[in-house]
Amino acid sequence: MPHRDQEIVMLRRELEMLMGERQNLLRVVGATAALIASLDSKRLPVGAVESADLVATSINSLSEETLQDALNAVRAEIEEEQAVAGN
């Protein structure tokens, strides 16, 4: 039994680590989506437009649920920063 308990503890830690990494990735994707949405592609250099298009294509390939999770993850941070800046 102790060996099985160790395996469970290790799996739990791994899962917690993966969930933490998922949250970090969701924040990155959410912030990137917000940035891409705010860009005016007519004012960007050609290289930047190509990069923005690649990012936008990648974001658009996400499931709607994952994209919504990403936007929600960053929305709270953006609103918090705006509240602090407003004070």
Q: What global pTM score does this model have?
A: 0.74
pLDDT in tens, 66-86: 999 999 998 856 665 666 666
pLDDT one-digit tens code per residue, 38-49: 888 889 998 899
- The pLDDT of residue 15: 97
According to DSSP H, which parts of the chain are helical?
A: 2-38, 46-60, 64-86
Gap between the Cα atoms of 71 and 76, Å rounded: 9
Predicted local distance difference test score (pLDDT) of residue 61: 96
